[in-house]
Amino acid sequence: MTGSSLLIATSALVGAALADSAAWATIPLGVQFLAMTGTTVPASLMMQRYGRRAGFLLGIGAGLVGVGLAVTAILGGDFLLFALASLFLGIFNGIGQFFRFAAADVADVDNKARAISLVLAGGIVAGFLGPNIGSWTESLLDVRFAASYLSLGVFYLTGLLAISLLKIPLPSRASSADGARAVLLIANQPQFVVAVLTAAIGYGVMNIIMVATPLAMDSHQFGFGDTAFVIQWHVVAMFLPSFFTGELIRRLGVIPIIQCGVALMLACVLVNFMGVSLWHHWLALVLLGVGWNFMFIGGTTMLTGVHSEAEKGKTQALNDFIVFGTVSVTALGSGALLEKIGWLSLNVATIPFLTVVALAVSYLQVTAKRTPKHAVQ
């Protein structure tokens, strides 16, 4: 997660420095999210067969390749090579998304939301470390941010050591059993549709504003130290609520938490309309981060109630393919959209999507009668 927050803070700025046009600045980050999307299905199916540990080790290997290519690209001023490096970094991040499902696998039904939350809570440390490392290492080498990407290798090697020492249970026979429903039958459930819609739109809206923020702040004449400060607190806001989001879902139900997340994201848009000072950017991204947490954990928790153990792999794969496909589109288009329509209009464009989620979860709350108690209340 530390690496992810560092990439969020620096990738668009590196892209802008290497690209011929500012509209291309977020292309490498978009490639990263595309790679995450393309990784989800094969990674999920591979883990279903060979276990989580094998998948996580493969992901770290891809991350180390990405680090080497990224440093070479930055030092050589090669935009296309940096985009290629982002592909390998995206594979790493795509496989890393399954840590939350690995936690849910070993939790009982009543504690799945709490398990998912605690995994995401690791992002608190990442929120402070990632942007600060970017700031501390920004100018250590002759080319800006080259040392920042080199530092990623240290974190990935540490992860490699940790995963090598962990004993993660292999898939149970039930996980690989025949007799599971076809994926289209699973996806046809209203609860599945709303769960995926919530996570996809929550992540997509968060991503398009988050990715555009460093570019917007740069255009507003803020230095990278200010940008790192805003991104740092945004990432903390994304993950700090994870200590209690699971308990809130257990006590109040998942739908009220999702609705609260939508309201917080709308508040973020409102704050961005109120001004472009450092504190406007800070408050907006804190609201955005907490809103993402409620929507993403809410959607992920709701998803756990729509499949059996034997259906887990394909259901999670389809979910993450849709979610990170949405994130890829927002990352690819964020820079161009900011360049074309401007900062305020970019924020306005998110409102209809958030409204769709609010209506969808309200509809599910009214009509769903047989949904598992732990998933929809």
pLDDT tens per residue, the chain (377 residues)?
Answer: 556 767 877 888 899 889 888 778 888 988 988 898 888 778 877 887 888 788 888 999 999 999 999 999 999 999 999 999 999 999 998 888 777 666 666 666 667 666 666 666 666 666 667 777 877 888 788 888 899 999 888 888 887 887 777 666 666 655 455 567 887 888 888 889 999 999 999 999 999 999 899 989 988 889 888 998 998 899 889 888 888 888 899 889 899 999 999 999 999 999 999 999 999 999 999 999 999 999 999 998 898 887 777 777 788 878 888 988 898 888 888 888 998 999 999 999 999 999 999 999 998 888 865 545 444 54
CB neighbour burial string for 202-236, b if at least 16 within 10 angstroms, e if fewer:
bbbbbbbbbbbbbbbbbeeebebebbbbbbbbbbb
Give the pLDDT of residue 62.
Answer: 94
Parent domain of 335: 2-367
Is 327 a member of any domain?
yes
What CATH code is carried by the domain that includes residue 282?
1.20.1250.20
Two tokens at 227? 């940008």
Query: What pTM value is reported for the model?
Result: 0.75
DSSP category for residue 168: P
Domain membership of residue 356 (yes or no) is yes
- Exposed (0-12), middle (13-18) or buried (19+): which is 166, by Cβ within 10 Å? exposed
Angle at 151 between CA 147 and CA 155, to 5 degrees: 170
Residue 374: per-residue pLDDT: 46
Please check whether residue 363 lies inside any domain of the structure. yes
Structural domain includes residue 259 = yes
How far apart are alpha carbons 12 and 291 in whole angstroms? 23
CA distance 258 to 261: 5
Q: How many domains does one find in the chain?
A: 1
Residue 376 placed within a domain: no
- The sign of the torsion formed by the CA atoms of 205, 188, 300, 323 equals negative
326 falls within a domain: yes
Q: Is residue 130, in this structure, part of any structural domain at all?
A: yes
> What is the rounded (10 degree) CA torsion for 343, 345, 346, 350?
140
- Would you say residue 165 lies in a domain? yes
Around Cβ 89, how many Cβ atoms within 10 Å? 31
User: Are the beta carbons of 258 and 361 closer than 8 angstroms?
Assistant: yes
